[in-house]
Amino acid sequence: MAAARKKAAETMAKIDVVVELLDARLPGASSNSLIERLRQARQRPCLRILNKADLADPEATSAWLRHYSSGDVRAVALSCKKPDDVAKVPHLAATLAPHRDSALKPVRMMVMGMPNVGKSTLINALLKRKAAKTGDEPAITRQQSRFQLDDRSELIDTPGLMPTAIRHASDGLMLAASHIIGADAYIDEEVGTFLADILLRRSPALIRTRSEVEPGGMDGYRLISEIAAKRGYLRKGGKPDYEKAARALMQDYRSGLLGRISLETPQTRAIMLSGDAAPPVS
């Protein structure tokens, strides 16, 4: 990871636009401040893509777009699984580097972001071939690769960059719930309970319709226990299998089965950042 950071800093000098991917469901938690520091040090503009917008709450995504777009940052919400969305990226990036965009000076775009936010999916869709390895497993891309997109633009794929430390516990839990941190780094019960608490606060109607559980007056622990009971997840001796139900809830959230959900908004993030006493979501 340290080598990837060093290489990213070096490459930053030789590119025109940073294409930074965030997960639209948790843009704040899935942003790496190192990327911002590296690009500001070299004064490179940024196309900030809130990817997986198909899974996120559209209202929260609009608030994030307003929050992020300023100065040399242009924020857009996309789904890199949709070819029409992906087709917009080269033009959006080129508008940030008007001095390039020619056959002699192609726009050099550096694709950056945490693991599993969709970098390889974007690159493959742009190149219309399977050039980068994709998969729902964090940290598959290990080396930088350079691709000619057309005679006006080039793409540089970079390995997923995780911060050296995750400062806020709730960020770690959001990242784990969204599978940006790998399964071996956290405990399913803890992450599932955290996710259930957020879902109860932010999307009780979806819990009612998709999980067929009445959310009123519940906390995350009760919700998962109810899911275990409803789906018949039982351990030996007939006790509810809490761990299995927690994993099932996470899977339903990750796949979009629960509906379009955002784990944070600019407002909830500001509250979270304003002090440890404040709850991570409201």
CB atoms < 10 A from the CB of 207, how many?
Answer: 23
CA 31 to chain centre: 8
Q: Helix, strand or coil for residue 23?
A: strand
Closer Cβ to ligand GDP, 52 or 108, answer by number: 52
Closer Cβ to ligand GDP, 26 or 213, answer by number: 26
Q: How far apart are the first and last CA of the chain?
A: 34
Query: What are the residue ranges of helices labelled H in the chain?
Result: 2-12, 33-41, 58-68, 83-87, 89-95, 119-127, 169-177, 188-202, 204-206, 220-231, 242-255, 266-273
Q: Write down the least CB distance from residue 10 to ligand GDP, Å.
A: 21
Closer Cβ to ligand GDP, 92 or 140, answer by number: 140
CB 5 within 8 A of CB 161: yes
Q: Write down the least CB distance from residue 71 to ligand GDP, Å.
A: 25
Closer Cβ to ligand GDP, 63 or 139, answer by number: 139
- Name residues whose C-beta falls within 8 Å of residue 136's C-beta, 6 or more positions apart in sequence: 116, 179, 254
Output b/e per residue, 139-163; b: 16+ Cβ within 10 A. bbbeebeebebeebbbbbbbbbbbe
- Name residues whose C-beta falls within 8 Å of residue 275's C-beta, 6 or more positions apart in sequence: none
Radius of gyration of the chain (CA): 20
Q: Write down the least CB distance from residue 195 to ligand GDP, Å.
A: 17
Q: Write down the least CB distance from residue 238 to ligand GDP, Å.
A: 36
Closer Cβ to ligand GDP, 157 or 171, answer by number: 157
Q: Write down the least CB distance from residue 55 to ligand GDP, Å.
A: 5
Closer Cβ to ligand GDP, 56 or 228, answer by number: 56
Q: Write down the least CB distance from residue 117 to ligand GDP, Å.
A: 5
Binding residues for ligand GDP, rule: CB under 6 A, are 51-52, 54-55, 79-81, 113, 115-121, 134-136, 140-141, 160
Distance CA 55, CA 79 (A): 9
Nearest to residue 116, comparing CAs of 18, 30, 47? 30
Closer Cβ to ligand GDP, 54 or 189, answer by number: 54
Q: Write down the least CB distance from residue 54 to ligand GDP, Å.
A: 5
